[in-house]
Amino acid sequence: MKAKVRLPVRNRKASAKKSAVDDSVSSSKLGKEKVVAVKGKYVTSGDTTKVRRTRKRLGTSPIQGAMQHEHDHLSAPRISLLAPTTNHHDLASFLEHSRNIDSKRSTTVYRGTHYEYTVIEFLKTYNFTLRRMGRSNDLGIDLLGQWQLPSDPQELRVLVQCKASKPRPAMVRELEGAYVGAPAGWRGADVMALLVTRDPATLGVRNALQRSRLPMGFAQITESGALRQFMWNHAAQEARLTGMSVTNEYRRGSSPSSSAPSDSGVESAVSLQWMGKRWNPSENVSQTSI
């Protein structure tokens, strides 16, 4: 009888690892334990022992592996697109629901929800179609939807953060982070992030907005639903807003030189222009801006 030749322990382990790594299959057998490929690493199903990564066979460089790990880490959070509540879906239903349950209007939840619906209602006049997220895992995204631009068949996807406090540069950085948790379909270069507050943008906010490489904008919308500021950065202008601009408006017979307070009947606001002409889709007749 021919005697069996036993390999040294080191050679046996090397031979087992080599047979486990195979480009043509995703898993193989190593002894009695199954070896499973997980993101370029091999672990046994019997325990969590890691087997040496073989970048040469997998075609993954250290830099590519690090980039993939960073992408997987940043892309992990997800938000739900399910309806946050069945009790209300717009400003009118929210007000009715609040009356039915005798909700206190001074609470933070009431004022925040009311403001989000006010923003949705106003932005409809400029062809925004938005829905309120209203969930604990929304990752900073309050509104999600599209913006139908003039002379552009493809809608611009938008995600919105609404803030009741005075805007700060940190809010711009927070908005950048909201891209990370955006759901599928709202990630990438063809998405614009919009920060909406009840107070005007400070110089720090303006500078932070312009420094960002992501398409981002800022809007000041009052609690009564009036647009006081609207601006966006160079990245947004180059991406989809070429031809769009903002102009000041003075209503109720006032003039740009008027400095009368708002309680005297003079109101200042802003409007959008498209190719030099006033653009308001809610109006039937296009008017030249003043």
How confident is the model at residue 236, as a pLDDT? 95
The DSSP code sequence of 66-135 is: HHHHHHHHHT------S-S-SS-SSHHHHHHHHHHTT--TTSHHHHHHHHHHHHHHHHGGGTEEEEE---
How confident is the model at residue 252, as a pLDDT? 65
Domain identity same for 235 and 199 = yes
Domain identity same for 204 and 110 = yes
CATH number of domain containing 171: 3.40.1350.10
Is 41 contained in some domain? Answer: yes
Is 284 contained in some domain? Answer: no
Domain limits for position 64? 34-71
Is 217 contained in some domain? Answer: yes
Domain identity same for 67 and 95 = no
Domain identity same for 132 and 50 = no
- Asked whether the beta carbons of 163 and 195 are under 8 A apart, the reply is yes
Of 242, 261, 278, the one marking the end of a domain is 242
CA distance 169 to 79: 24
CA distance 221 to 111: 14
Domain identity same for 51 and 95 = no
- Sign of the Cα pseudo-torsion (53, 56, 60, 63, in order): positive
Q: Tell me the CA distances in angstroms from 35 to 40, 60, 91, 166, one per residue in order.
A: 12, 19, 56, 55
How confident is the model at residue 87, as a pLDDT? 84
**Domain total of the chain:** 2
How confident is the model at residue 284, as a pLDDT? 45
Closest of 250, 249, 246 to residue 274, by C-alpha: 246
Domain identity same for 186 and 228 = yes
Domain identity same for 133 and 42 = no
Closest of 164, 150, 184 to residue 78, by C-alpha: 184
Domain identity same for 65 and 95 = no
Domain identity same for 45 and 122 = no
How confident is the model at residue 143, as a pLDDT? 95
Is 279 contained in some domain? Answer: no
How confident is the model at residue 279, as a pLDDT? 92
CA distance 35 to 111: 55
Domain identity same for 166 and 216 = yes
Is 20 contained in some domain? Answer: no
Question: Looking at the DSSP assignment, which residues form a beta bridge with residue 171?
Answer: none
Task: Copy the structure tokens of residue 47.
Answer: 């325990």
Domain identity same for 118 and 197 = yes
Of 242, 263, 285, the one marking the end of a domain is 242
How confident is the model at residue 36, as a pLDDT? 37
pLDDT digit string (tens) for the chain, length 290 residues: 555 555 555 555 455 554 444 443 333 333 443 333 333 333 333 443 333 333 333 343 443 443 343 333 334 344 444 455 568 788 888 888 778 787 778 788 889 899 999 999 999 999 999 999 876 666 789 999 999 999 888 899 999 999 988 999 999 999 999 877 788 888 877 899 999 999 999 999 999 999 999 999 999 999 999 999 999 999 999 999 999 999 988 776 544 443 444 455 667 789 999 999 999 888 743 343 33
Domain identity same for 157 and 64 = no
Is 10 contained in some domain? Answer: no
Is 45 contained in some domain? Answer: yes
Is 97 contained in some domain? Answer: yes
In this prediction the pTM is 0.65
